[in-house]
Amino acid sequence: METKDEIRKLRESTGMNRKEFCEYFEIPYRTVTEWERGTRKMPDYVLRLLAYKVKMDNLIVKEGVNEE
């Protein structure tokens, strides 16, 4: 699975729309949009950190996210 698909899947697992996700993590909206479109590459460590934070903050409302 490509990184762009993984970030979208992670965001969708929280039940948040893109705007809410960006506000929660304090990431610019355009940055997340470009990550999800694949026009900008998200560093792998950032994806791991976001997934960890989602898990620790118990934000997962939809099943189906790969946990590492």
- CA count, 13 A, side-chain hemisphere, 40: 9
> What percent of the chain has pLDDT above 70?
90
Q: Would you say 6 and 54 are in contact if contact means Cβ atoms under 8 Å apart?
A: no
When pLDDT is cut at 50, 70 and 90, the band that residue 25 belongs to is very high
Condensed to tens digits (0 to 9), the pLDDT of residues 5-18 reads 999 999 999 999 99
The structure's pTM equals: 0.84
Domain residue extents for the chain: 3-56
Closest CA to 4 of 36, 47, 49, 46: 36
3-class secondary structure per residue, 26-63: CCCHHHHHHHHHCCCCCCHHHHHHHHHHHHHCCCCCCC
